[in-house]
Amino acid sequence: MLSSFFFLAAAEDGADAGKAIALALGIGLGSTGAGIGLGIIFGSMIQAVARQPELRSELTGIQWLGFALVEAVVFYGLIGGLLAYVLI
């Protein structure tokens, strides 16, 4: 995926190459952060249920809310990167 950004940007001029690199880095770093966040959320859920199994139903709702919020950050990064690539 990253190589396609480089190829498309290198076809025109150097400014477009910089925009493509910035887009790829923004999306990549946003996805990395979300992956770390999801690992923390689900790891904490497993530990919490192992300690107090009777709270599983309450914790599940909070877990899915956290999952949705972390995934929203990825989409904000994707849209922001695409807008910056197109508009700048």
Q: What is the pLDDT of residues 19-53, one digit of tens each?
A: 888 788 878 888 888 899 899 999 999 999 999 99
Element (H, E) at 51: helix 14-51
Average pLDDT, the chain: 83
Q: pTM value?
A: 0.68
43-69 average pLDDT score: 93
For the chain, domain boundaries: 2-87
Kindly tell me if the per-residue pLDDT of 2 is higher than 60: no
**Per-residue pLDDT at 48:** 94
Phi, psi of 44 (to 5 degrees): -65, -35
Q: Cβ atoms within 10 A of the Cβ of 23, count?
A: 22
pLDDT grade for 63, boundaries at 50, 70 and 90: very high
Domain 2-87 belongs in CATH node 3.40.50.261: no
Residue 29 and residue 49: Cα distance in Å, rounded?
30
